[in-house]
Chains A and B, each alone.
Chain A
Amino acid sequence: MFLLGKDKYFYLKSMNVLKVDNLTKTYRSGNRELTVLDQVNFEVAIGDTLSIVGPSGSGKTTLLGLCAGLDVASSGSVMLDGSALEKMTEDQRAAVRNQLVGFIFQNFQLLQTLTALENVMVPLELKKRKDAKDKAMELLEKVGLADRLTHYPNQLSGGEQQRVSIARAFANEPKILFADEPTGNLDTETGEMVENLIFQLNEEEGTTLILVTHDLELAARTHQSIHIKGGKLQEAING
């Protein structure tokens, strides 16, 4: 946490890489208040895998966004690798995302104007790694796209795009990886291949994985599962 400066350094010696405390998120539209997340509590240990399941609209994406520091909660706290996200400025959270976090999205979210290789290089370049290109090529090879380096996203199939995005997610060697329905936009076969790839890389790199899905079969592959419904956490199901 050197990035935050000495005064903000309050690393808690703990096994938990993510700790969520009484997390609540309300949206205000007009004069109506909508509580999307209500007093959510859970924690995830380093290297663990967790799935968040629940019906559509239950608040899974909201929860993931808060845990990853993409958004700020209305109340409650998120401790990511020992630091409280809600106490940071937006730029500090950006630094956390760059240093600690990887993302895989439902709709891939590759940068359309960059080639596959360049997309994977971006997180490495942001970290000012001299070996960005080599490392990115290595990762693309791992996901089986060694022959697609100079292709642009719109020249790749959905499965290929998601594999590029997986390579990008692992590029900065994140401590924790967030995936929001990573197979939601893929057919079953491709989806399975992408799943396997995520779990395989996760194991190899020893990353913590937080996975949002409404696919119970996929959820069963994670070590822990939490279930939310209407913004409230149901009892934990251990898989």
Chain B
Amino acid sequence: MVDWNWSLLMAKRDLRKTGGRLILFISAIVTGIAALVAVTSFGDNLSNDIDEQAKELLGADLSLRKNQPIEFPEIETQADRRALEVNFASMVYFPKVGESRLTQVRALEGDFPFYGSFETLPVSGETEFRKGAKRALVEKTLMAQFGAVVGDSIKVGNVTLEIVGALQKVPGQNGITATVAPAVYIPNDQLEASGLVQYGSRVNYIHYFQFPEEFDLEALIAEKKDQWDEDKVRHETVQSQKEDTGRSFENLSNFLVLVAFIAVLLGCVGVGSAINVFVKEKLPSVAVLRCLGVRSKEIVAVYLVQIVIMGLFGSLLGAAAGAFLQFLLPMVFSDFLPVEVSVQISWRAVIMGTFTGVLISVLFALIPLLKIRKVSPMMTLRPDDPSAGLGKDPLRWMVLGAIVLFILGFSFYLLEEWDQTFWFTGFVIFAFGSLWLLALGIMKAIRKFLPISLNYPARQALSNLYRPNNQTVSLLATIGLGTAMIGTLFFIQNQLLDEVRFADKEDQPNMLFFDIQSDQVDSMKTVLAEDGLPILQHVPIVTMGLAEVNGLTRNDNEELEDEEQRSNSMYRREFRVTYRDTLIATEELTAGSLIPFEAEGDSIFVSMEEGYAERNRVELGDEVVFNVQGRPLTTYVGSFRKVNFRKVSTNFLVVFPDKVLDNAPKFHVLITRTKNDQESADIQNKMVRQFPNVSVVNLSMIVETLEDILGKISFVIQFMALFSILTGVLVLISSLLISKFQRIRENILLRTIGAGRRVLLKINALEYLFLGSLAAGGGILLSVLAAFLLSRYVFEISFRMEWGPLLIVFVLITLLTVILGWINSLSILKAKTMDILRS
């Protein structure tokens, strides 16, 4: 039994004197908690806002989508309002600059959106557009790219329209989708004239409906659902939109919470090592109390109470900072958000953050704190006897276990899946453990191999690293992990971009024309030849549906037991297939062989993409019946191919042998290689003017888009990594302040034995240089490993060492450490010899 009254009384007395110091020790968790609270609060607001703005997200009560023209006369009669959007990818041409780009053209009929509105600049843009005729609204990023202004014209297929507004915001779109597929709205009655919808074009027909207030939408859906499924019509309602969007953003915000949680853990490592210093300072008092007959658990209680109080204080401080910080987040994440996010303090976030902060900081503090259970009262009589001091306590394993359990629990709460939870926890333990070991190893090595020949300041600086209260190990761990996060990020970003740019280096294709009609192929080839461009590939494409797999139709499949069923999407999918008897460079045969089709009556053997076949449990020899424009075509799976989807090429899930599809309706893709950007631009413009329905993708556009997206993602990740770095800085500052007295004493000692101010400054600077470079170096080592694993197993790209960005990170982190240390050492040097004597 612990005498809590007494322990509380003692804690209260102790806090008067040591409270200030303790808050310094605990301060390392403040940034982590701030991040945690801010991000959680932001997530809560986001999910509320998605719920509240779900109608604006969809813009209607019901949307029905199909990739072919379809009408819903019955539903139209029940609806108050209806609208139709026909969308497809197409080139648009900006005559003023003479350039074109692939965009998403949306031909609109009716007053969509019924909820919310298009935000345009000027505001009158929307009303202008609604007047119809040859007017268009264009995504603002697209206009910026081509320097277009309102009043300019734009050519979509065969029609030229006037830009009447720049689209600022479109329902359901965010910064990322706008980058990938910038939208151009045109009136639906201009669609025909544009001549863009032809065979093979990937066109979506979306019908939007608004119903009267009292209308029972659910009943309608229940009634029609099966029919829609049959007709390959997808439906979306406000409710489903809310759920889908909510789910994907819950993932985003859970991810952010995990990143913030890492910052909290980093802070806790700092807390743990600071409490270690605190415990060392408290040893004499502990020994005295033991002499006076206080039991060790009561002494632990005295300090535990103080740590809980200060942990609560630190966590509340962090929570308050987080509540302010979240005002920034909607700006940081604006490119990802489909809705306006409000800024409100989420009390759930504050309470959860504070609770987490107190619990985890106390757990981490317990590890050093437990050591005082082993303090011998003999220390009062023989203060310098090391054996009377700190010993390791077996209970610390229990505490470590509790910490691991907490991490597991916390991550499971967010991830909701055990394997991910174990991965995350394993990653955290691995990262912390390896940095910890690295730090210990470095310290040992310095101690052992400190070269005598080194000049004095460097020797002194190195030996300062294992000054007892220096917290070198925890500094290496915290700064190192922050560095590792940023390093990994840069690394991966560069690897991904390089992988794409790489295509430009060798004799790889870099330009792709698609949506080519059969009667255009020859004239396009001529144009390419005139310009001296090679035709690297000519790929015919036939679209088809899937009717049966091993004799099972879609309905048969649905009647099977759940675990025997194949995914319905296989039956719903529109397959775009090509035919040839050879593999192309981006393919590799993994099973079976390509079997040519010799004569009428032969069996037809197709080749399937390995991953797709695996996902849908299709095996070699399976019978697959395709539906080619209404005609059934029985085939057998003859081989599997592995396809590298990252190259600029056409890739197919299914490849037919030559000759079988000669007479089926088809469209074409041509692939070429240009020598430079100018040549690319020239041929692109020429083609678009001559063949308006043909779309062009070129490598530099892909690189640009990818750079843009990665830039946006990495901005967010950098923002989160900042918290880890900030935590490292806090740990650094607190360790500097904690060891300040000791440093002053050392410096004065050195000064009395004749070391000049310049030598002292040099020693200090060198100490931080070592500290910073070791931490940054360790972190970078870790990031190389992480980047290697990520590129190998997640992104499946080849790994190349890349020194440039790593060097930048290394220099910046080291510099930051040196500067902070330098500022601190200036104030230390100001201390007078007398100060130390007096204290």
Contacts and interface: CB of A to CB of B under 8 A. Distances in A.
B383 interface: yes
B13 A114 contact: yes
B288 A111 contact: yes
Given A109-B288, A112-B285, A126-B293, A103 B14 contact: no
A110 B292 CA distance: 11
B377 interface: yes
B823 interface: no
Best-surrounded residue of B284, B288, B289 (most CB of chain A within 10 A)? B288
Interface stretch (A9-17, A89-97, A188-196, A226-234): A89-97
Interface in B343-391: 376-378, 380-383, 387
A123 interface: yes
B284 A109 contact: yes
Interface stretch (A63-71, A201-209, A215-223): A63-71
A113 B378 contact: no
Interface in A58-83: 61, 64-65, 68, 70-71
Contacts of A65: 377-378, 381-382
B463 interface: no
B378 A70 contact: yes
B82 interface: no
A45 B290 CA distance: 26
Nearest to A119: B288
Contacts of B14: 113-114
B376 A111 contact: no
A65 B292 CA distance: 13
Contacts of A112: 17, 284-285
A125 interface: yes
A107 interface: yes
A118 B292 CA distance: 13
A112 B376 CA distance: 19
Contacts of A103: 291-292, 380
Contacts of A180: 381
Contacts of B10: 122
Contacts of B288: 109-111
Contact of B16 (A90, A111, A113, A126): A113
Best-surrounded residue of B18, B287, B292, B382 (most CB of chain A within 10 A)? B292
B393 to A, nearest CB: 13
Nearest to A111: B285
Contacts of A110: 288
A38 to B, nearest CB: 19
A96 B293 contact: yes
Nearest to A101: B293
B219 interface: no
B292 A125 contact: no
A158 to B, nearest CB: 15
B295 interface: yes
Contacts of B6: 125-126
A99 interface: yes
Chain B residues touching A, range: 20 to 34
Contacts of A168: 292
B819 interface: no
Interface in A129-154: 152
B405 interface: no
Contact of B296 (A90, A106, A107): A90
Contact of B293 (A61, A64, A95): A95
A126 B292 contact: yes
Contacts of B222: none
Given A113-B16, A118-B13, A98 B381 contact: no
B381 A105 contact: yes
B9 interface: yes
A68 B381 CA distance: 11
B378 A111 contact: no
Contacts of B18: 113
Chain A residues touching B, range: 20 to 34
A65 B287 CA distance: 12
A110 B291 CA distance: 12
A70 B377 contact: yes
Contact of B376 (A70, A105, A123): A70
B332 interface: no
A209 to B, nearest CB: 17
B383 A107 contact: yes
A94 B293 CA distance: 4
B309 to A, nearest CB: 15
Contacts of B292: 97-98, 103, 122-123, 126, 168
Nearest to B15: A113
Contacts of B290: 70, 94
B294 interface: yes
Nearest to A27: B387
A101 B380 CA distance: 15
Nearest to A28: B387
Contacts of B13: 113-114, 118
B293 A113 contact: no
Contact of A70 (B289, B291, B296): B291
Nearest to A99: B293
Contacts of A94: 290, 293-296
B17 A71 contact: no
Nearest to B387: A27
A210 B550 CA distance: 99
Contact of B289 (A71, A95, A111): A111
A110 B17 CA distance: 14
A39 B17 CA distance: 46
A111 B92 CA distance: 82
Interface string B270-302: 000000000000001101111111111000000
Interface string B379-417: 011110001000000000000000000000000000000
Nearest to A152: B17
B683 to A, nearest CB: 81
B626 to A, nearest CB: 82
A222 B6 CA distance: 37
A107 B16 CA distance: 24
B378 to A, nearest CB: 5
Contacts of B294: 94, 98, 126
Contacts of A118: 13
Contacts of A96: 293
Contacts of B285: 111-113
A179 to B, nearest CB: 11
Interface in A4-51: 27
A100 B681 CA distance: 97
B17 A125 contact: no
Nearest to A118: B13
Interface string B484-499: 0000000000000000
Nearest to B839: A154
Contacts of A109: 284, 287-288, 291, 380
A203 B13 CA distance: 33
Nearest to A154: B839
Best-surrounded residue of A65, A68, A99 (most CB of chain B within 10 A)? A65
Contacts of B16: 113
Given A94-B295, A126-B294, A105 B289 contact: no
A91 B290 CA distance: 10
A210 B382 CA distance: 17
A101 B290 CA distance: 12
Nearest to A180: B381
B289 A61 contact: no
Nearest to B287: A109
Best-surrounded residue of B284, B285, B287, B291 (most CB of chain A within 10 A)? B291
10 contacts: A65-B377, A71-B376, A91-B295, A94-B293, A97-B292, A97-B293, A103-B291, A103-B292, A103-B380, A125-B9
User: Which 7 residue pairs across A and B have the least CB separation, nearest first?
Assistant: A98-B293, A113-B17, A97-B293, A70-B377, A113-B14, A94-B293, A109-B288
Interface of A: 27, 61, 64-65, 68, 70-71, 90-91, 94-99, 101, 103, 105-107, 109-114, 118, 122-123, 125-126, 152, 168, 180
Given A95-B293, A103-B380, 7 more contacts: A70-B291, A71-B378, A94-B296, A97-B292, A98-B294, A103-B292, A111-B285
